[in-house]
Amino acid sequence: MLITIPNVLDQQRLDFVTQTLEKAKFVDGKLSAGMAAKRVKNNEELSADDQQMQQLNNIVMGSLVQHEEFKAAALPLRVAAPFYARYSKGMTYGDHVDDPIMGNPGQQYRTDVSTTVFLNEPEDYEGGELVINTSFGEQKIKLAAGSAVVYPSGSLHHVAEVTKGTRLVAVTWTQSMVREPAKRELLYNLNLARESLLKNRPDDNETKKIDVTYINLFRMWAEL
């Protein structure tokens, strides 16, 4: 399941984030890459010791994890602090699958869901699409600033080469309460129908049945 979420960050928050990143210290993205990723990764990432990191995380992740669409799609149990990535002309990130387990010992989490939050406008750069392999073929994603895309971490994906300008994104990973992508997709679609019924036909017997079914399927499949 691939979900795009517009307006995760409003303009005020977005302006603060981009202005902060303009003055921030970036390092070679290979420093955070595993053995396989090092071969295909060519970008820069915000230095982990940058003084503004916590403030950026409060804004970006605070906005993401409180967004109802993200919560419905990812069903988050744990959400990682993001990497802030910068791609200048000639930079790319070749085909890869995200590592299954991330985090330091004692703070490790399973990566079920990947999320990219776009931090500058698509006209600010050429190329740089996030290309995700799905059962329906390649999906090329290049969203408006402040928008996000949510997709299974096990998907083969890459970032196309930037041929002009600079691409800025925040990337994070989620351990979901529901491990299997197919089950998450069923729950997401069922919840869309449930919310519509609860809004428009709250007293119908069909609404009660859908509500009970969603809640009990979630209970059956959740891992805590």
Which tens digit of pLDDT belongs to each residue from 2-21? 999 999 999 999 999 999 99
203 and 120 share a domain?
no
pLDDT in tens, 118-173: 999 999 999 999 999 998 899 999 999 999 999 999 999 999 999 999 999 999 99
Tokens found for residue 89: 């002309």
Q: Which domain holds residue 20?
A: 3-176
204 and 105 share a domain?
no
32, 53, 76, 136 from 58: Cα distances, Å = 21, 9, 17, 36
137 and 56 share a domain?
yes
Q: Give residue 96's identity as a one-letter amino acid code.
A: H
- The rounded percent of the chain whose pLDDT value lies above 70 is 100
45 and 131 share a domain?
yes
Instruction: Return all residues near 103 (Cβ < 8 A) that are at least 6 apart.
Output: 80, 109
Give 31's pLDDT tier (boundaries 50, 70, 90). Answer: confident
Predicted TM-score (pTM) above 0.85 = yes
- From CA 133, how far away is CA 137, in angstroms rounded? 6
167 and 185 share a domain?
no
- From CA 28, how far away is CA 137, in angstroms rounded? 31
Tokens found for residue 223: 């891992």
Counting the structural domains of the chain, the total is 2
201 and 171 share a domain?
no
- From CA 70, how far away is CA 152, in angstroms rounded? 13
pLDDT of residue 25: 93
151 and 196 share a domain?
no
210 and 169 share a domain?
no
Task: Over range 216-221, report the average pLDDT.
Answer: 98
Direct distance between the N- and C-terminal alpha carbons of the chain, in angstroms, rounded to an integer = 22
Mean pLDDT of the residues in the chain: 95
142 and 190 share a domain?
no
- From CA 69, how far away is CA 195, in angstroms rounded? 12
Give 34's pLDDT tier (boundaries 50, 70, 90). Answer: confident
Spatial CA neighbour of 72 closest among 172, 156, 194: 194
**∠ CA(133), CA(147), CA(98), 5° rounding?**
35
- From CA 209, how far away is CA 200, in angstroms rounded? 15
pLDDT of residue 33: 77
Is the pLDDT assigned to residue 98 strictly greater than 90?
A: yes
207 and 103 share a domain?
no
120 and 211 share a domain?
no
79 and 20 share a domain?
yes
Q: In CATH, what number is assigned to the domain containing residue 142?
A: 2.60.120.620
